[in-house]
Amino acid sequence: MNDERIGLLIGKWTDGTIASSEKQELAEWVRLNPDDERITRGLERAWDSFEPRELMPEAASDRILSNIFPEEETTFGERDQARGVTWLWPKLVAAALVIGFGLYWWKGYQGKVQLAQQKAIAVQPADLPPGGNKAVLTLGDGSSITLDSAGNGLLASQGGTSVTQSGKGQLVYKSGQEAAAAPVINTVTTPKGGQYHIVLPDGTGAWLNAASSLRFPTAFTGKQRNVEITGEVYFEVAHDKQMPFVVKNGETRITVLGTHFNVMAYDDEKVMRTTLLEGSVKVSRGASEALLVPGQQARINAGTGNVRVVDGVDTDKELSWKNGYFQFENESLESIMRQVSRWYDVEVQYEGNTRGENFTGRLPRNSNVSKLLKILALSGVKFRIEDKTIIVTP
């Protein structure tokens, strides 16, 4: 099928004038060509054809919005069916084009109001790229290495432990047969707009989200494996019954033997969350503590310091950042914009009252910020980008 015919059919499908025979023709072409870039290009042209503040037809929004953001593979999170992580590949996105997969994003306000009933607000043409694999390694002597510009291979050797960058945003520590009697402390720090994967000396994997840090020794000795974090870090802890793994954040301690869990402890968030995927962990702060089982989350209020356990947590949502997408569930605009600020390395300012809007949905993190703002703008909130600042107005 040539470009002209494809454009004609997608156009008819968008405005609802496509005949049954034409729909079958388009469906067959999509089935045989699921990865063809002309599908996405056609949908984006259809999206851009709507004038600012024009009420978008419901049928058109159903078709366009469900396909405008196909999920793409990310190099940071790997596909892992054992942990319930799934991907929408281009073939499924193409299928959604034909069968009207429906809205994957909706506004959680006064019920789940369809985006088709909202006014599409234009976003300024300025744009910002997504974050990527960026971090700085601070060695025991105080010197630092910018990892995203350093080459692959051996970066340093400290007290019998080698530090190697293996590519794809991964730093690997490997202890020699004769580790130092007094291991030195290293720190990996991700900036806003950065993320990184570290393999610690004991084989534990740690994934740092944007604006986060991990402080650890070059070799684990003694009775515990102690590390300190800020921001958000996901751990897959190597099992060692004789030496528990302890994560510290301020007065909070998380003690494990071998398990998979995520810790979100940003200073600008009111609640610290520890989410358990496998094994068991003990979360404690002062006299308050809780033992978690998989699927539970410990929440610590920054004001009271009390530990509260929540059952039946959506672990896919909590791990969405690691697996390459944003996922929101009845989340406030302010909460979303804090995540946007960290991942796109921008400041966010508010003009006027923008409170009261909640959102539910999922979008890939490897898209420019304008795509995310286009969706949020459908609620009636306006955005403009000035240099590295996003300004939100009602």
Tens of each residue's pLDDT in the chain, 394 residues: 777 787 788 777 766 688 878 877 877 777 677 556 666 566 555 545 444 333 334 444 444 444 444 443 333 443 333 333 222 333 333 333 333 322 233 333 333 333 333 333 334 446 889 999 999 999 999 999 999 989 899 999 887 889 999 877 899 999 875 555 577 999 999 999 999 999 999 999 999 999 999 999 999 988 999 999 999 999 999 999 899 999 999 999 999 988 999 999 999 999 999 999 999 999 999 889 999 999 999 999 988 889 999 999 999 999 999 999 999 888 899 999 999 999 999 999 999 887 766 888 888 899 899 988 988 887 778 899 998 999 998 7
Q: Is residue 33 part of a domain?
A: yes
Looking at the structure, do residues 8 and 122 belong to the same domain, yes or no? yes
Domain with 32 in it: 3-128+345-393
For residue 140, the 8-state DSSP code is T
Residue of 264, 255, 254, 249 lying closest to 317 (CA atoms)? 264
Token pair, residue 101, equals: 């997969």
Q: Is residue 213 part of a domain?
A: yes
Token pair, residue 339, equals: 């995540």
Chosen domain end from 221, 236, 269: 221
Helix (H, G, I), strand (E, B) or coil at 20: helix
Q: What are the φ and ψ backbone dihedral angles of 304, each rounded to 5 degrees?
A: -90, -30
Looking at the structure, do residues 123 and 145 belong to the same domain, yes or no? no
Q: Is residue 20 part of a domain?
A: yes
pTM of the model: 0.71
Q: Is residue 269 part of a domain?
A: no
Chosen domain end from 221, 246, 272: 221
Residue of 44, 135, 62 lying closest to 98 (CA atoms)? 62
CB 30 within 8 A of CB 94: yes
Token pair, residue 129, equals: 């790229």
Chosen domain end from 164, 191, 221: 221
How many domains are there within the chain? Answer: 2
Looking at the structure, do residues 137 and 69 belong to the same domain, yes or no? no
CB 310 within 8 A of CB 275: no
Q: Is residue 203 part of a domain?
A: yes
CB 212 within 8 A of CB 231: yes
Rounded Cα–Cα distance for residues 249 and 263 (Å)? 9
Looking at the structure, do residues 180 and 100 belong to the same domain, yes or no? no
Q: Is residue 64 part of a domain?
A: yes
Q: Is residue 78 part of a domain?
A: yes
Total Cβ atoms within 10 A of residue 379: 21
Percent helix, percent strand, percent coil in the chain, to nearest 5: 20, 35, 45
